[in-house]
Amino acid sequence: MPADRSIESARGNPILAHASRVDRTLADATPVIDLRGLRFSWDRGATPVLAIESLRIDAGERVFLHGASGSGKSTLLALLAGVVVAQGGQVRVLGTDLADLGPATRDRFRADHTGIIFQMFNLVPYLSVLENVLLPCDFSPRRRARAEARGGSPRAEALRLLASLDLDGPRFLARQPAQLSVGQQQRVAAARALIGAPELVIADEPTSALDADRRDAFLDLLFRECARESTTLLFVSHDAALAARFDRRIAFADINATATRLAAA
């Protein structure tokens, strides 16, 4: 299809618009995630639990990473978030080698550029729904400014995100996490990850506690919000049945095959 017709057909459809933007920028953009010769072990000198020769994920991609429980997927996410640092190789996020940053700078970088949906959601129990969603704007002036640019104020953008995730109403916004269902906690965690338009959203098994209908509805909402901002989504799960909904599927065992060979040696 010619480019002008492709762009025309994407108007009014956020999913087609997302695909069109990815196609136009993929070749020249700095990758959002770029791993080269990665080596990591929890005990220095031990056989690495991660040995990934290369992995590239570009701006706007929606990538499904699947693998068995306990295989090292969450360790990889900790490296991408800068919570831990690799002993060898490069972990680049948005062109920045995280090993070059000190701990405090890595924390600021994560707050500015990465939204995380944790498997257990990790909502702050004594904060309200609205306060939980606004937390990234408290830690990151960059995300606060983006939220203001998109919604007029961080509060207005938080309310928009919550409404888009079918979570609104004054009584609901004042609730604390313990007063929410599992599905509601999950969507609050998604709104928190998305506010301020981070370039990368990492989702670690976020649908594991949901039934099929709620899982599919959550994915629809997550895709729509990521497409709206051309956000890169790395979605980690052991449920391979979800893979068809993503732009690309990556088997963790394939990219971490070197670690398997080293452990067997």
pLDDT (tens digit per residue) in 36-88? 999 999 988 788 899 999 999 999 999 999 988 888 899 999 999 999 999 99
Q: Which pLDDT score, from 0 to 100, does residue 265 have?
A: 65
pLDDT for 157 beyond 60: yes
Give this prediction's pTM.
Answer: 0.84
pLDDT tens per residue, range 177-186? 999 998 899 8
Instruction: Please give the average per-residue pLDDT across 107-126, as a whole number.
Output: 94
Classified as helix, coil or strand, 96 is strand
What Rg value do the Cα atoms of the chain yield, rounded?
19
Would the pLDDT of 11 be above 60? no
d(C-alpha 259, C-alpha 29), whole Å: 30
pLDDT of 246 strictly over 50:
yes
Overall residue count recorded for the chain in this entry: 265
| Domains recognised in the chain with CATH numbers | 2-264 (3.40.50.300)
State the pLDDT at residue 46. 83
* Alpha-carbon dihedral 205, 199, 222, 147, rounded to 10 degrees: 130
User: d(Cα 99, Cα 84) in Å, to the nearest integer?
Assistant: 9
- How large a percentage of the chain has pLDDT more than 90? 62
pLDDT score, position 178: 94
